[in-house]
Amino acid sequence: MHIVIPKEILNAEKRVAAIPETVKKYVAKGFTVTVESGAGAGVFITDEEYAAAGAKIEKDVEKLFASAEVILKVKQPIFNTAVNKHEVEMMPKGSTLVTFLHPAAPDSHDMVRMLRDRGVTAFTMDGIPRISRAQRMDALTSMSTVTGYRAVLDGAELLPRFLPMIGTAIGPIKPANALVVGAGVVGLQAIATAKRLGAVVKAWDIREAARTEAGSLGAKVVGFDVPKELAIAEGGYAKLLPPDWLKKEQEAIMDVVAESDLIVLSALVPGTLAPTIVTKEAVERMKPGSVIIDVSIDQGGNCALTKPGQEILHNNVRVCGVQNIPGRMAMHATWLYANNMFYYIDNLYKKVPGGPDLEDEIPRTSLVTMQGKIVYQPALDAMGGR
């Protein structure tokens, strides 16, 4: 079975789906591996290093895709201007794609339909269930760790003030107030980073267990009580609140938002759009110079004003729809992702050669398209069943 590793072509994406260490493991399992020339350049891995690990190197991207049985990527397929073709157009019918697809996000819908129409079997790495057996495959958790750390650094850079308390001859400068919304993996890492940088940190989450974890890191826990059956889904994830409860949350968070200098928004609901928690009215109550870093933007964003990949200034508050933060910390992000990918593929193809094991819960819940159909329910819901 032939695995191919294309070079990522999304703007500013430096990660790659395999490293020499994992190429060796694939080869040892019986796969053949071909890597596009230059695929590892963003993380300083040379073609020679891939070749030494057992991979073939291919300079022609169309030939690379044409030979593929299994395609491993980091980000969703996009249009390749170098050959004037969409990456999906180059994928053979019946081939398998494994990558982050974010299939429920509005910007992904056309691409998911293309995969369906092309007859590609596609798996999304953000659909892996949070179960103990899948921990080593959980790329979303790995990338979330990177994102939480870097989001605070980005916010600190944009803030026109110090994060920690600073003593001066004139008097002390008060520490900044940081608010982290969503105490999942991203949020917990953001809390820890903001605390290390000296900010006064508050954490907001509708789940009691998540609030407890946030408090254990030194954050002051704020929020409001939501019935457990409305707040928590299977596996401990947050649920999307019904409209009336979401409105209550939007109103309850306003005062906390107003007193915050830096806000990191990271509240996600797996497989569906992120809830809009911070409204335009809440932003307009913030102090001039405040900063919002919305890292949930790949799934729509937690702030009503966030625009994907853009930094906007509204009422002298910066609202940043920061995309692809892990791509800017590519070395460690690639090491984590490539290993997550290996364990996923090793589980997917328990016998080589052979087809994917769809009896297994892990691939079954992350399957997006197969046999000309979209089968990922959150994507179907977001796309209106089309």
Q: Give me the domains of the chain, ranges plus CATH numbers.
A: 2-127+329-374 (3.40.50.720), 145-327 (3.40.50.720)
Name the strand (E) or helix (H) holding 3.
strand 2-5
CA 253 – CA 246 distance, rounded (Å): 11
Question: In the prediction, which pLDDT does 353 show?
Answer: 57
Nearest to 138 by CA among 122, 121, 120, 124: 124
Which pTM does this prediction carry? 0.87
Which of the residue ranges 19-23, 151-155, 237-241, 333-337 would you say has the lowest mean pLDDT? Answer: 237-241
Give me Rg for the CA atoms of the chain.
22
Res 364 pLDDT > 60: yes
CB 336 within 8 A of CB 143: yes
pLDDT in tens, 221-265: 997 889 999 988 877 778 889 999 999 999 999 999 999 999 999
Q: Over the chain, what is the mean pLDDT?
A: 95
CB 291 within 8 A of CB 321: no
Quick count: other Cβ atoms within 10 Å of Cβ 19? 24
**Looking at 9-23, 43-57, 218-232, 284-298, which range is the least confident one?**
218-232
What mean pLDDT do residues 192-219 have? 96
Band of residue 351 on the pLDDT scale cut at 50, 70, 90: low
CA atoms within 13 A of residue 89's CA, in its CB half-sphere: 9
State the pLDDT at residue 130: 84
Q: How far apart are CA 27 and CA 344, in angstroms?
A: 15
DSSP one-letter string for 185-245 = HHHHHHHHHHHHTT-EEEEE-S-HHHHHHHHHTTPEEE-----HHHHB-GGGPBPPPPHHH
What pLDDT score was predicted for residue 272?
76
Worst-scoring range by mean pLDDT, 21-30, 285-294, 350-359? 350-359
Assign 105 a pLDDT band (cuts: 50, 70, 90): confident
Identify the weakest region by mean pLDDT among 150-164, 194-208, 216-230.
Answer: 216-230
**CA distance linking residue 44 with residue 330, whole number of Å:** 10
**C-alpha dihedral sign at 175, 180, 184, 189:** negative
**Percentage of residues of the chain with pLDDT beyond 70:** 98
Residue 313: exposure state from Cβ atoms within 10 A (0-12, 13-18, ≥19):
exposed
